[in-house]
Every structure is written in C-alpha cells, then in structure tokens.
Amino acid sequence: MTAHTDTEADIAARQTLRRYQNAATGLLVAMGGMTALGYAAPAAGWVKDGFFLEMFRAGARAGVVGGVADWFAVVALFRHPLGLPIPHTAILPAQKDRLARALGRFVASQVFTAREVERVLARVDVPGFIANLLEDPATQDAVVGAMARSMPQLLDRLEDGRASNAIGRIMPGLLGGSDLSPVIAKALRSLVDDDRHQEVLSYFLSQLKDGLKAKEGSLRDMIEDRVREQGGRIL
C-alpha cells in the first residue's frame, strides 16, 4: 500500500480551510462571550438594564444562533453532527447515488441536448484533427510501434485458427476472394520477418489520413444523424 503524498495545492487548500475554521470558531466564541457579558453586566451592577443593552444582547444572541445554525447545516451535509444519528443528516453519503442520477438527468436534458451537441460538432473538425495528429512523426511512430507490438499475437491467433474462421467468413465478402485468412496471415508474417511492417503501416496511416479528409462531410453528417437519433443520451 503506497502512502499518499500531498501536493503543494493540497497543503495550501488545507491551510486555508483550517484558517477559515479557526476564524469562524473564534467569531462564534466571541458572540457567546458577548451574550454572557450582556446578561452578567447588569446582574453585577456594572451597567443598568436598558434599551441599548437589550439591543446588544439581541445582536449577540443572533450571532450565536446564526453561527450554530450554519455549522449544523454544513456538517449535516457530510456527516452526523457530533456523531448523533439525527434524521436528515449525512445527506450526501446517504443520497449520493440518487443525487448523481438526478444530476445526470439534468445534464443530459438541459446541457448536452441534441441541439447543443450538433452546434458544438459543427465547429469541431474531427477528421481534420485526426489527420493533423497522424501527420506528426512522433504520433506515427507511436501508432506504428503499438501495432507492431500487437502483430505477433495477431499472427499467432490467425495461424492457430482462433480467428481464421471469422476472417475467412468476412474477407471473401469484402474482397471477393475465398479462404483468405491463411494468405493474410502469411503475408503479415512475411512483412514482420522482413522488417517491412514500418513502411506498410506508415503507408496505411497516410491513406487513412487522406481518406478522413475526403470523407469529412459524410462523417459529419453521420455523426449528426446519430446524435439526432440518440438525443441527449450521448452523455
């Protein structure tokens, strides 16, 4: 089990919270002291009871009541005040699932609506973004490296028959041939053995980029149609 290391932002936030807590506690204690003084002073004969003293006591009492009410309201959101199982406290832990579902419904119906998503997608050039990303040599090397690392497993599955039946059914319908999976497996194995997969995959990425640029309009229409069908459920 690894120990959690606080970042500078976490430490600063915790210090700020502690400072606010100390200030609020100090104000509450001050209001309590002023309330006690407002009743003790005339009893001790220091001042006479009167209108201004009553105003002083009323303000002090309001500060105490308001401070306690604010403390109770904030604490009751996250836990039981003073550990007492008071009804309708610890609201967030007890109702987090229901609140999350309600928030999700609100976001789906009021924020991520079909019209709003269509408006955003109309301004986002997704095919162009992917094409520009594939133009970066570093991205090409990363994609090619990932595909090259997965190639041996793909070839093993093709050659031992685990995927050959599926590919044998799909590829003839796409390319018009028959029983193509052994041929594809041998061809891919030859590319890897001859260390020519980098050139082939780079050419494939180049063709993919050009295809995305050429099909930008139809891709945008397809995405917008799908958004209209699903409505706000895209979230």
Amino acid at 141: D
Q: Which residues contact 158 (CB under 8 A, 6 or more apart)?
A: 164, 167, 181, 182, 184, 185, 188
Residues 54 and 42: beta-carbon distance below 8 Å: no
Going residue by residue through the chain, which has 235 residues, state the pLDDT in tens, using 9 for 90 and above: 445 577 888 899 999 999 999 999 999 999 999 999 999 988 888 888 888 999 999 999 999 999 999 999 989 988 888 888 888 888 888 888 888 888 888 888 887 777 877 787 777 777 777 778 777 888 877 877 777 777 666 666 655 555 556 655 555 554 545 455 555 666 666 666 666 666 666 767 777 777 777 777 777 777 777 766 665 544 4
Q: Which residues contact 122 (CB under 8 A, 6 or more apart)?
A: 220, 224
- Dihedral in degrees, nearest 10, Cα atoms 113, 119, 121, 123: -160
What is the CA angle 150-154-156, rounded to 5? 120
Q: Which residues contact 159 (CB under 8 A, 6 or more apart)?
A: 182, 185, 189
Residues 103 and 234: beta-carbon distance below 8 Å: no
Residues 112 and 232: beta-carbon distance below 8 Å: yes
